[in-house]
Every structure is written in C-alpha cells, then in structure tokens.
C-alpha cells in the first residue's frame, strides 16, 4: 500500500511539476471563489431563474465555441507564453469585477459579459494545461500526474466555494474578487519561473488551419470518439439542471445565505475528493458503463431529494453524494476520451470533448433556467432528475469503447520513394496501394480493408476508396488522398500499432511475390498543365 501511495505522489518530487501543480490549485481555488461571488451577486440583482442560469451559460458557452481553436493553439504556440498571457487576461477580468462591485456599478449585463470573458480565458487555457503535463514528468509517471491534477482540481473545488462564501459573507464581493486576482499573480509567477525548453522545428510543424482540419478529420472518422461524445452530451445536458439552479435552491428552497451556498459547493468538492479516492477500487469491480449508470442514477436521486427542500444538514449530505457521483461520471467519461486518442491529436480531441461537455452544460443551463422560470425550481429539478434517470437507462445500451488499443506510433511505414525533392505544400497527394488477392479471399479481404478505412481517414486522408481491375479479377487498388505532401509525411508518423495490426491483416491476403506496390501521385497545378 505504501509503495503504491508513494508512486501516486511521485510527480510531486519534480520541482517544476510541484510548483505548477500548487499554483494551479491556488488558481482554481481563486476561480471558484470568484464564481461563488458572481453566482450569489446575480441573485441580489435578479430573482429570475433565467438570470441565474445565464451566468452558468456565460461561463460554459465560450468553451463550447473556442475549445477546438484552443486545442490547436496549444499545439502550435509556445505553451508557457500562451498560458502567461491568458492568466494576465483572467486577472484583468477579476480586477474589473472588483472595481465595479466596489463602486456599486455591477449590473446583470456587466456580470454576464465579464463572466463570458472569463469563460474565454478558461476555454483557451484548459487544453494547454493538459498538454504540458507530459513535458513536466517522465512517461512512467504520466498517469499519476494526470490523477494528481484531478485531485488538485477537486481540492480547489472543496476549498474555493467555502472560502469564497466566507469572504463574501464577511467582507463582500470586492474582497472575494481581490483574492482571485492574487491567485492569478501566483500562477503567473510559477509559469515565469518554469524555464521551458524551446520546441524543435523539423519542417513539419503544422499551421493553425492545417492542424484545425486534421483534428476535425480525426473526429469525423473516429466512431469510438463519437460514442464517447454522445454519452457525455446526454449526461451533462440533464445533470446541468442542478448546477444551473443550485444558487436558487440554496436561497429559496433551503433559506440559506452566501456562506451556506459556499458550504454546499464545498460539500460537492469534498464529495468529489472522496469519490476520486474510491474510484480505483470501483474501476476494478465495475465497467465504465456501470460507473456512468450508477453516477447518473445517484445524481438524479439527489436532484429529486433537493426539490423537496430537505433540512440544511441533509442538503449538505446530498451535495457530498452529488460530488462523488459527479466525479465518477466526469472522470470515467474523460478517461475514456483520453484512452481512445493517440498522442498526436490528444489536445485537439480533448478540446472537442470539452466543447461537447460545455455545450451540453450551456444548453442544459439555459433550458433548465427557462423551464424554472415557467414551472418553478422544485418541479424543474424533478423533471431534470427524471430525464437523467431515463436517459441513463436508455443509453446504457450504447457501450463505451474499452480504450485498450495500442495507439503509440508504430513508425513502420518506409520513407516514400521520390525522384526529386517535393515541396511540403505540394498537393493534394494520391496514394495507390496495389494488392493481388485470390478470388476465394475476395469477401474476407474487402472486409479487412474496410476496417482499415477509418484509420487512413483519422491519420490524415480526406478521401478513401478501393477499386478492382475489370480485366484482372485478382487485382485491387486501395487509394486515399491527402491534402499536401507534408501532411502525408505526418501521416507516416501517426500510424499506430493498432493501425499496423489492421494493415498486417489486410496484407495477409496479398499473394504477390513482392509486398503490395505503393505509388504516390502529386497534383500538377493548372498553370503547369501545358508545360
């Protein structure tokens, strides 16, 4: 047991990781304090459920809109400088909230606008924080480092809301916003202290547009990612009901003040920490699908119980339970998404996941806020609870991918044969692979080849097909097209061991004396067509 614990905390022995981890915990704590102040202030400015839900939507909508561009930027910019710039922006947002609240000038419109600006910062910074972890620890410690980041976030979730509620009740919103500004200063100092090695350039660095298109191509071709995104979307749309209405639950249903609201959010964080510590044992006993189903039913039960205006101690206990269920679903769905993404597109794939997560939270928040304005908070909570329970049972049949494929780069493709140097921006490129297959193997060969199709499309091709020779019943040509020569060279680096195994299965049917013949054809620009 002690060895395992030591291994779990081993990344904290790395000074840079430890410093940035501590700074992140402090920064997230400040963000939760700011969010508590904003969520409570809006209830002072307007009792409308729609207005309260608009704050939640303003925080999550930017992540939905900007997640993919943020993932691309995290891959093509200097990540340390990018993070510093965004932290400065977020500090200025909180400073504006401080000054406006101190002067009594905050309105619903300004609060929503500044919350939206803070959401933009969160959208830009999220994928980059995840992307720098492999730079801070050796590969054997990577899983523990990711787990520590999750633990740190939930520590902040437990401390931040409670501390924010305490500061808000004791000193007012300006002091709470001021504490958030100070937390950003600490994060910026830690980032400036980190001396990040500059990334090398081998001539195949991606441009923003190319990286954006490559990420979308991967997402479009990955059926496993589609399943993970669908399961996440349906869960968060319904589970968002409790977050959209929680300030009104605390104030109207439970009769609490700002301090009690912070206590409820702190209970969610504490429950999440407890849930995170129980999850390893639960994963050994239950599948990902069972964990998401159980978490969904628990969250639905909590929402239904809150709608009945329970005593305050019972409400706190319910929020502890909600925190455990929330972290179980969140970690399980995020873990599935990470497991099915290869390293080269991990940032962009996770950005798409964040876009779906925050899009679902935004749509859910606005929808439940509007419904709450019409039928009241208790009835809305019951409706959201019933919907979550039903949707969890229905989509339990859509099984999450196992994520057990070996997605490490195989580097087994030989360098393409070229007569002379090809410019990286030359394209599009047509690749032809010729096979000879016995008539008796035709059906099995084509079945195996079509399993290879999504691999080609995920790794860089924008079109794929297979043809057979009308004059030779045993001759087949697989073809795919890539937008440029540089993208095809990147495709060589992206093929995973799992993809190599599928390719081996296809080549098994080839009966020619030599390996399948591979040809590369480059498009001739029209201005040169008449040479």
Residue 290 belongs to domain spanning: 11-194+208-395
Domain boundary among 395, 414, 444: 395
4 found inside a domain: no
Shared domain check, 304 and 435: no
Residue 99, CB-side half-sphere exposure with 13 Å CA sphere: 7
Q: What is the pLDDT of residue 6?
A: 47
Shared domain check, 456 and 316: no
Residue carrying structure tokens 């990711």: 146
Q: What is the pLDDT of residue 201?
A: 55
Shared domain check, 459 and 358: no
Distant-in-sequence, close-in-space partners of 316: CB < 8 Å, separation ≥ 6:
263, 264, 267
Shared domain check, 167 and 249: yes
Q: What is the pLDDT of residue 198?
A: 67
Whether residue 242 contacts residue 49, with contact meaning beta carbons closer than 8 Å, is answered with: no
Q: What is the pLDDT of residue 529?
A: 53
Q: What is the pLDDT of residue 420?
A: 83
Structure tokens at 398: 């859509």
The CATH number of the domain holding residue 164 is 1.20.1250.20
Q: What is the pLDDT of residue 5?
A: 43
As a whole number of angstroms, the distance between CA 20 and CA 192 comes to 10
Q: pLDDT by residue for the chain (531 residues), tens digit each?
A: 334 444 567 788 889 899 999 998 898 898 888 888 887 787 777 777 777 777 777 877 887 788 788 888 877 777 888 899 999 999 999 999 999 988 888 788 888 899 899 889 888 887 788 777 777 887 677 666 776 777 787 778 777 877 888 888 888 888 999 999 999 999 999 999 998 776 555 566 777 888 888 888 999 999 999 999 999 999 999 999 998 888 889 888 888 887 788 788 778 878 887 887 787 778 778 898 999 999 999 999 999 999 999 999 999 999 999 988 988 888 788 778 877 888 778 778 888 887 888 788 888 988 998 898 889 999 999 999 999 999 999 999 999 998 777 777 787 888 888 888 888 888 899 999 999 999 999 999 999 999 999 999 999 899 999 999 999 999 999 999 999 999 999 898 888 888 889 999 999 999 977 899 999 999 887 665 555
As a whole number of angstroms, the distance between CA 435 and CA 517 comes to 7
Domain count, the chain: 2
Shared domain check, 53 and 146: yes
Shared domain check, 433 and 352: no
Q: What is the pLDDT of residue 528?
A: 56
Burial of 362 (0-12, 13-18, 19+ CB in 10 A): buried
Shared domain check, 435 and 297: no
424 found inside a domain: no
Q: What is the pLDDT of residue 153?
A: 77
Q: What is the pLDDT of residue 306?
A: 94
Q: What is the pLDDT of residue 36?
A: 82
Domain boundary among 395, 417, 452: 395
423 found inside a domain: no
Q: What is the pLDDT of residue 446?
A: 96
Shared domain check, 24 and 110: yes
Shared domain check, 461 and 386: no
Compute CA distances 119 → 86, 154, 365, whole Å. 11, 19, 15
Q: Give yes or no for a cis peptide into 402 (omega within 30° of 0).
A: no
Q: What is the pLDDT of residue 139?
A: 66
401 found inside a domain: no
513 found inside a domain: yes
202 found inside a domain: no
Domain boundary among 395, 421, 446: 395
Q: What is the pLDDT of residue 3?
A: 40
CA–CA–CA angle 16, 20, 23 (5° rounding): 145
Q: What is the pLDDT of residue 209?
A: 83
Q: What is the pLDDT of residue 4?
A: 44
Reported pTM: 0.76
The CATH number of the domain holding residue 476 is 3.30.70.100
404 found inside a domain: no
1 found inside a domain: no
Shared domain check, 481 and 367: no
Shared domain check, 217 and 363: yes
Shared domain check, 388 and 274: yes
């Amino acid at each position: 047991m002690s060895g395992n614990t030591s291994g779990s905390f081993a990344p904290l022995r790395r000074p840079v990781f430890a410093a940035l981890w501590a700074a992140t915990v402090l920064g997230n704590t400040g963000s939760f304090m700011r969010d508590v102040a904003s969520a409570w202030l809006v209830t002072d400015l307007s009792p409308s459920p729609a207005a309260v839900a608009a704050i939640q939507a303003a925080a999550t909508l930017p992540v939905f809109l900007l997640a993919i561009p943020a993932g691309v930027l995290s891959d093509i910019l200097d990540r340390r400088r990018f993070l510093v710039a965004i932290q400065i922006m977020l500090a200025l947002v909180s400073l504006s909230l401080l000054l406006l609240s101190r002067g009594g000038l905050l309105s619903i419109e300004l609060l929503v606008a500044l919350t939206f600006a803070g959401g933009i910062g969160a959208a830009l910074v999220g994928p980059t924080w995840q992307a720098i972890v492999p730079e801070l620890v050796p590969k054997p410690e990577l899983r523990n480092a990711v787990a520590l980041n999750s633990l740190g976030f939930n520590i902040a979730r437990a401390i931040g809301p409670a501390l924010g509620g305490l500061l808000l009740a004791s000193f007012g919103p300006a002091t709470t916003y001021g504490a958030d500004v100070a937390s950003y200063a600490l994060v910026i100092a830690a980032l400036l202290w980190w001396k990040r090695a500059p990334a090398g350039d081998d001539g195949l660095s991606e441009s923003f547009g190319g990286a954006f298109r490559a990420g979308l191509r991967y997402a479009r071709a990955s059926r496993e990612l589609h399943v993970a995104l669908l399961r996440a979307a349906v869960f968060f749309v319904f589970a968002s009901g409790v977050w959209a209405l929680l300030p009104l639950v605390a104030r109207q249903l439970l009769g609490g003040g700002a301090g009690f609201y912070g206590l409820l959010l702190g209970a969610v964080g504490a429950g999440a920490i407890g849930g995170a510590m129980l999850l390893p044992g639960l994963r050994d006993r239950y599948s990902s699908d069972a964990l998401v189903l159980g978490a969904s039913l628990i969250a639905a039960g909590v929402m239904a119980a809150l709608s009945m205006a329970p005593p305050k101690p019972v409400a706190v206990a319910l929020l502890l339970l909600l925190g455990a269920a929330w972290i179980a679903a969140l970690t399980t769905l995020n873990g599935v998404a990470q497991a099915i993404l290869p390293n080269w597109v991990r940032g962009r794939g996770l950005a798409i996941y964040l876009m779906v997560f925050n899009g679902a939270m935004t749509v859910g928040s606005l929808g439940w806020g509007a419904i709450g304005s019409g039928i009241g908070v208790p009835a809305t909570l019951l409706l959201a609870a019933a919907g979550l329970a039903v949707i969890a049972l229905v989509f339990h049949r859509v099984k999450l991918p196992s994520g057990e494929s070996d997605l490490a780069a195989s580097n087994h493709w030989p360098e393409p044969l070229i007569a002379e140097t090809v410019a990286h921006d030359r394209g599009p490129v047509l690749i032809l692979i010729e096979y000879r297959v016995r008539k008796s193997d035709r059906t099995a060969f084509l079945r195996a080849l079509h399993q290879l199709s999504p691999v080609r499309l995920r790794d860089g091709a924008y079109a794929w097909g297979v043809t057979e020779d009308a004059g030779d019943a045993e001759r087949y040509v697989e073809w795919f097209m890539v937008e440029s020569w540089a993208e095809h060279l990147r495709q060589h680096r992206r093929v995973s061991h799992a993809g190599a195994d599928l390719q081996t299965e296809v080549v098994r049917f080839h009966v020619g004396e030599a390996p399948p013949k591979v040809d590369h054809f480059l498009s001739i620009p029209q201005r040169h067509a008449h040479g």
